[in-house]
Amino acid sequence: MSQETADATPADAGDGTDACCAHPGDVDPDALASDLQMLSAMGNDTRYELLRRIANADDGVCVCDLEAAVGVSQSAVSQALSRLYAAGLVTRRKDGSWRYYEPTETTELLLETLDDLRGTDA
């Protein structure tokens, strides 16, 4: 047998099947959908910046403060925060006519992981 033919032959996985034909493993469709919703919510410049600002605040952050910080309309901030809330990345509480947003534990873990991967603290 030539070297070319030997290289093209799949390796035996030891159980009588070809290693390249092994089952790749199952994926929980609900977990996949949840993960994609979360990652998608974080995958926008404005939403990600809002998430970082909320996570870096000492206490809940008001929409009006976020609007001034990111330089987009209150409507755009509200829509972005709604998306982050729906994805489980922020909590919100109402105090009078104001809404305050705080990061969830999931958000803190995700951002900490991203910081670790990047090798920074913020």
CATH at residue 77: 1.10.10.10
Nearest to 85 by CA among 67, 64, 63, 65: 63
Residue at 15 is within a domain: no
What pLDDT sits at residue 74?
86
The token pair at 6 is 């030997």
Residue at 14 is within a domain: no
Residue 76 has pLDDT above 80, yes or no: yes
Residue at 114 is within a domain: yes
Q: What's the pLDDT tens digit per position in 104-119?
A: 999 999 999 999 999 8
Q: Which domain holds residue 110?
A: 26-118
* Number of domains within the chain: 1
Q: What's the pLDDT tens digit per position in 28-38?
A: 999 999 989 99
Residue 75 has pLDDT above 80, yes or no: yes
Sequential DSSP letters for 47-71:
HHHHHHHHHHSSS-EEHHHHHHHHT
Q: What's the pLDDT tens digit per position in 48-71?
A: 999 999 999 988 998 888 998 998
What pLDDT sits at residue 22?
80
What integer best gives the mean pLDDT of the chain? 86
The token pair at 34 is 């949840």
Q: What is the pTM (predicted TM-score) of this model? A: 0.75
What pLDDT sits at residue 23?
82
Sheet holding 61-62, edge to edge: 61-62, 98-103, 90-95
